[in-house]
Chains A and B, each alone.
Chain A
Amino acid sequence: MNLLRLNNFKVAYGGIKAVKGVSLSVDFGEVVALIGSNGAGKTSLLKAICGLVDYQGQIEFKGENINKLRCDQLAKLGLSMVPEGRGVFTRLTVEENLLMGAFLVNDKKDIAKNKENMFRMFPRLEERRAQIAGTLSGGEQQMLAIGRSLMGRPDLLLLDEPSMGLAPLMVEKIFEVINQISSSKVTILLVEQNAKLALEYASRGYVMNNGEITLEGPSGILLNDSSVRKAYLGE
């Protein structure tokens, strides 16, 4: 069964059509990559899935129609997003950011345990737990944003360009973490500019262009597709 399924999904800002009838699905436990050039509509798609922008079309999560649900209701169902540009609460401390991620968790012990897990995954965050998040480096903010999402124990994690603006070493670290998250049974829909890396870590991929899905398939095939190689792998 699909964890997430979109059918003829459209997003428009006034007259600007950002997503023009996309159909896509993500299965339980998968890592799925969504690649595409700037302005293709990837962020719009993710935001709409989370209920942050209006959309048209069908959307099912865990087999349920989630049309018209608010963002906070979707979070309750186990949907989480690490937004483009991280979106940490810059005026809250690192620890407070993590606790915000656990807003819907009521069991204090569970929160404490999960926080320890995050600190184990990102020791840097533990060192800086009392620091105001706005003063963290870009990479640290990305770790915090991911850690914050995981604090809510989501079933589906949407990642919007987690490697944006990071140095190669940090990118590697982030992808290691994505691998780790995926092996703990969290399903991931990964939007990336870094198409090669994304497809290496994902089992399947979609290529988005100008608001539409132009190509989809197993990562191995996409990686060897001449149009993908030309457009996204710089060959």
Chain B
Amino acid sequence: MDIFLQQVINGLVLGSVYALVALGYTMVYGILGLINFAHGEVVMVGAMVFLTAVSVLGGGPLVLSNSTIIVFAVLTAIFVCSILAFFIERIAYRPLRNAPRLAPLITAIGMSILLQNIAMMIWGRQYRTFPELFQIESYTFAGANVTNVQLFIVGISIAIMASLLAVIHLTKVGRAMRATAESPQIASLMGVNVNTVISLTFIIGAGLAAIAGVLVSANYSIAHYSMGFILGLKAFTAAVLGGIGNLTGAMVGGILLGLIESIGAGYIGDLTGGFMGSHYQDVFAFLVLIIVLVFRPTGIMGERVADRS
């Protein structure tokens, strides 16, 4: 088996999920200059709601095909996460819009902890296994394995990111979002309701997070109330790596981080003479975060972290 190619494939899969989540961080940062630490929890809620919806729909009186169940469950997850994010912004962030920067940051961390605890109360402490909704098939390709689930994850992520870019760059709403990100005051002079744009930003980010939550738990076949925390931190790292506030940067950063992590995990045993195993995978993300913050705080594509932090 070709370890390198295998790790590249795994990295791309992981990276596409990071990219989806990183977009949510970066869009909110772009408009509010706020790091929404509760975003990882929205991912977790997406996975959990998906699971609940699957079991409700699958166990209900209607006989539905698996693909119908999946589609409805994903839509439910997107819907619930969007509403959740809408209220997070209204309740936790909007009242602090003009407060010193530290206040909303602490609120965001508090919101993250609160959501984890609520999720634990609703869905329990145990790991929840993902149902087998479809046959998992594995293909061998130049000495590496790739499953249909993995191909699906990468494919759907690319499609979603392309649509997002199209919306942001080619539509009137997207133009208003970019204008608001640059200057909320001037945008409002043009007649843009800035609060609506901010709500919309949270809702779009949450929709992406919900999908990411479903994909990541489908990939690992498990979900847990605490899964959003580390995932969120890594996606945040990806956003910083790409240049926070920059959409393309979030995508590039996500994919890169997935690759770094995966390839690193594949070789860490060899590098340390077996002292550290692949379960040290998480080290890489945070190593990357530290290195980027020290040597290039603006990230790969960013230009303006300095003037907004």
Is B68 interfacial (CB-CB < 8 Å)? no
Given contacts A72-B194, A99-B172, A103-B172, contact A89 B179 (CB under 8 A): yes
Whether B175 contacts A96 by the Cβ 8 Å rule is yes
Is A92 interfacial (CB-CB < 8 Å)? yes
| Smallest CB gap from A76: residue in B | B191
Chain B contributes a number of interface residues (CB within 8 A of A) equal to 17
CB A128 to nearest CB in B, in angstroms, measures: 18
Of the stretches A10-18, A79-87, A172-180, the one at the interface is: A79-87
| Smallest CB gap from A88: residue in B | B186
Whether A90 contacts B182 by the Cβ 8 Å rule is yes
Complex formed: what's the CA distance from A83 to B189 in Å? 9
CB-defined A-B contacts under 8 Å, sample of 22: A51-B188, A52-B189, A71-B188, A71-B189, A72-B192, A72-B194, A75-B190, A89-B183, A90-B182, A92-B178, A92-B179, A96-B178, A99-B175, A100-B176, A100-B187, A100-B192, A103-B176, A103-B190, A103-B191, A103-B192, A104-B190, A104-B191
Given contacts A75-B191, A103-B192, A152-B191, contact A52 B182 (CB under 8 A): no
Q: Which listed residue, A52, A80, A89, touches B178 by the CB 8 Å rule? A: A89
A48-91 toward B: CB 8 Å interface, digit per residue (1/0)?
A: 00111000000000000000001110011000110100010111
Interface residues, chain B, with chain A CB atoms under 8 Å away: 172, 175-176, 178-179, 182-183, 185-194
Complex formed: what's the CA distance from A71 to B190 in Å? 9
Is A101 interfacial (CB-CB < 8 Å)? yes
| Cβ contacts under 8 Å, A70 to chain B | 188, 193
Complex formed: what's the CA distance from A75 to B188 in Å? 8
Whether B172 contacts A91 by the Cβ 8 Å rule is no
| Cβ contacts under 8 Å, A101 to chain B | 190
Chain A contributes a number of interface residues (CB within 8 A of B) equal to 24
Given contacts A87-B183, A92-B182, contact A50 B189 (CB under 8 A): yes
| Smallest CB gap from A96: residue in B | B175
- Residue among A72, A80, A90, A101 with the highest chain B CB neighbour number at 10 A: A72
| Cβ contacts under 8 Å, B190 to chain A | 72, 75, 100-101, 103-104, 148, 152
> What 5 pairs between A and B have smallest CB-CB spacing?
A75-B191, A71-B188, A104-B191, A103-B190, A87-B186
Whether B188 contacts A72 by the Cβ 8 Å rule is yes
| Cβ contacts under 8 Å, A96 to chain B | 175, 178
Complex formed: what's the CA distance from A90 to B172 in Å? 17
Whether A52 contacts B185 by the Cβ 8 Å rule is yes
